[in-house]
Structure 1
Amino acid sequence: MPQIDDLVLFTQVIEHGSFSKVAELNKMTKSVVSKRISKLEHELGVQLIYRTTRKLTLTEPGSMLFHRAKDIHYVAQSAFDAVTGYSEALSGNIRVSVPTISGELLLAEALSDFCQKHPGLNIEMSMDNHFVDLVADNFDLVIRTGYLEDSSLIARHIFNSRWVICASPDYVTEHGEPDSPKSLLRHNCLGYTHQSTGPFDWIFLRNTNETYTLKVSGNFASDNAVALRKAALAGNGIAYLPTCLIYDDLQAGHLVELLPEHSGKVVGIYAVYPYTKKPSKRIQVLIEHIRERYMEMKERF
């Protein structure tokens, strides 16, 4: 089985184009580097590099290995840094943008607690449901839900938020309880305009893990989930809302969950930061702290 250290040496040789430079970088002799690359080739059963007096050229399998393994050193170092960061004093300023609901329910307390654990650290938290420009707005970290399209950013999945279809008991008494997604077509549904698919395109579950979209309709829509919650509590329609927002309402009986076996909307929660080989320790440790807080409150999500 090839050693990871030998694979790292191989990628360094290609990046620097020289056995001598890699030997100097790793404080070893050129012959040791050469022997370890030869050992890697022997273990893999293929030639990786054509060696001449003037230059090094990758073979076809060598090129495939390099492109698949070139980031292994940085990934490993990032993993080590994330762990060692827990035992180091963290300091500096962090600007964070978070969704309004998550900020109020969880992240305001989580981030302020993080500052208490690390007295040299200052966090400025902004609550905004729209995706901000990390670079232009000078944010170090953004917590967002949904799909990330910008390839210049890295998104680390933190948690999944389950959404539920709900209405007030008074609405159900007056209009009846829907017994299938299609029966919602006879009801007044409350639209969420912040979702990219459209305010009345609701996602449902078919069979075990297959989802589909059904277009419902209604007389009220908003880009604010809290506004939809209030409309549902007032008995004005059926809403499709994140569990975390209405958890207490469901527990108290102010709202009831409808069609639970058909609810198929699950939205990923992500920590997003600019693309770098090695994000700062304080950002890595903060992301892990946020993930742990979500896990502690998983029944609410």
Structure 2
Amino acid sequence: MPNVDDLILFADVVEQGSFSRVAEQRELTNSVVSKRVARLEQQLAVQLLYRTTRKLTLTEAGQALYSQAKHIALSAQEAFAEVGEYGESLSGKIRISVPTISGELLLAEALAAFSEQHPEISIEMSMDNRFVDLLEDGFDLVIRTGSLPDSSLIARHIIDSHWVVVASPAYLKKHGTPKAPDELKQHRCLSYSYQEGGAEDWLFKVKETTQAIRINSGFSTNNARALRKTALAGHGLIYVPRCLVYQDLAKQDLHEVLTGQAAKVLGIYAMYPFTRQQPKKIKLLIEHIRQHYLAISEYF
């Protein structure tokens, strides 16, 4: 029967991509790490890794084992972290990267409230829509919206963000209200150039399927707040997260069109590295953020 410690070490080697890096972190020699992985291969009677001077590559069997081994490693980390919480102080700095819309709408206030509740914790918030490299850029946590990259990050789903098509009453009075997605081709559409899948491909439910409708964009921007202002000024239709325009819709400064037909839904996630033991302060902060999102779930 393979040793569970060897399974966890194997997962660590895959994550780090190096025997020497794992050996250094665990205060072992390279040969000990290599021998333990070799022992695991011998016990399972399969090759798990292709070893070259430049890199390690998983075999098919190695990939199958790794998908299970990383869960075992994570469970062990969580168990140790839970016990460690009893003696862990809530102090230090947390660096967090958040998307611009959520940062302005919700997270700045939520993070300030968290640091007020825990005076020994300081929070540094960076607003950026790109998928930052947590380890390289020195972040402890990121909040991201969209499809997740295939990586070693652990992601906790917080809420789903639904998108809507909206325009000002003045625009709709002048140009009419589209009743079907195809009619958008006769309208002035303003595009959000950050959105996934192409700024000019708007997703809709058409006959029980999801279809991308190519719009003719006369203006695009990667700044959601600027795009909202163009719609409020009556310059055209925009396709954006509901949370961005929720209050405008409530005040009827903007009207939703093609209601129930927009198909774009993106998950909002809290993400942190798999290889880092999750401290109690990060765990508490994620739950704090999640509760703030849920408190205004109607926005999304």
Report the TM-score when normalising by structure 1: 0.74
Pick which of 291-300 and 152-161 moved more. Answer: 152-161
Q: Which residue of structure 2 aligns with residue 156 of structure 1?
A: 156
Which letter does structure 2 place at the counterpart of 1:255? L
In structure 1, the partner of 2:202 is: 202
Number of aligned residue pairs: give it.
254
Q: Which amino acid aligns with 2:231?
A: A
Whole-angstrom CA distance in 2 between matches of 1:94 and 1:254:
38
Q: How does 1:133-172 map to 2 (within 5 A)?
A: 133-172=133-172
Stretches of structure 1 lacking an aligned partner (at least 5 in a row): 1-6, 17-54
Partner SS, residue 219 of structure 1: strand
Structure 2 vs 1, CA of residues 14 and 279 (structure 1 numbering), >3 Å: closer, same or farther? Answer: closer
State whether residues 74 and 278 of structure 1, in contact with CA within 8 Å, keep that contact through their aligned partners in structure 2: no
**What corresponds to 1:11 in structure 2?**
4
CA distance in 1, matches of 2:95, 2:226: 27
Match of 2:219 in 1: 220
The CA deviation string for residues 255-289 of structure 1, in whole angstroms up to 9 with x for no partner, is: 00001121111111122223315322222221122
SS in 1 for 2:43: strand
Q: Deviations over 1:166-223 (max 9, x none)?
A: 0001111111110100011110001111124222110112345x32211011311111
* Code of the aligned partner of 2:118: H
Note closer, same or farther for the CA distance 1:161–1:87 as it changes in structure 2 (3 Å cut).
farther
Alignment partners' CA distance in 2, 1:83 and 1:288: 19
Q: Which residue of 1 aligns with 2:128?
A: 128
For residues 289 and 274 of structure 2, the distance between their equivalents in structure 1, rounded to whole angstroms, comes to 20
The answer to whether the 8 Å contact 2:78/2:277 transfers is: no
Whether the aligned pair in 2 keeps the contact of 1:86 and 1:285 (CA below 8 Å) is no
Change in CA separation of 1:176 and 1:82 when aligned onto 2, cut-off 3 Å: farther
Q: How does 1:193-272 map to 2 (within 5 A)?
A: 193-208=193-208, 210-272=209-271
**Separation in 1, partners of 2:198, 2:246:** 24
CA contact (8 A) 1:188 1:238 kept: yes
| Structure 1 residue aligned with 2:278 | 279
Instruction: Mark the CA change 1:298 to 1:78 in structure 2 (over 3 Å): closer, same or farther.
Output: farther
CA deviation digits over 1:42-81, x for unaligned, max 9? xxxxxxxxxxxxx972379xx9996665345443345554
TM-score (norm. length: structure 2): 0.75
Q: What is the root-mean-square deviation of aligned Cα atoms in Å?
A: 2.9
- Greater displacement, 155-164 / 168-177: 155-164
1:62-113 residue CA offsets vs partner (Å, 9 max, x unmatched): x999666534544334555469859964111111111111111110111111
* Counterpart contact for 2:94–2:122, Cα < 8 Å: yes
> What code does the residue aligned with 1:293 have?
H
- 8 Å Cα contact 1:85/1:285 also seen in 2: no
CA distance in 1, matches of 2:272, 2:6: 30
Match of 1:42 in 2: none
Q: Cα distance 1:170–1:180, how it changes in 2: closer, same or farther (>3 A)?
A: same
Match of 2:44 among 51, 55, 58: 58
Instruction: Give the Cα separation in 1 of the matches to 2:87 and 2:171.
Output: 54
Find the structure with the greater CA-based Rg.
Answer: 1
Residue 138 of structure 1 and its aligned partner are, at CA, apart by: 1.5
Unaligned 5+ residue runs, structure 2? 10-40, 47-60
Matches within 5 A, 1:39-188: 57-58=43-44, 69-80=68-79, 81=81, 85=85, 89-188=89-188
**Identity, % of aligned positions:** 48
Q: Which shifted more, 254-263 or 115-124?
A: 115-124
**What amino acid maps onto 1:139 in structure 2?**
F
Shift in Å, 1:156? 2.5
Using the alignment, how far apart are the partners of 2:72 and 2:98 within structure 1?
A: 31
> Quick check: 193-202 or 251-260, which moved more?
193-202
Change (3 A) 1:78 1:13: closer
For residues 295 and 161 of structure 2, what CA distance do their matches in structure 1 show?
Answer: 14
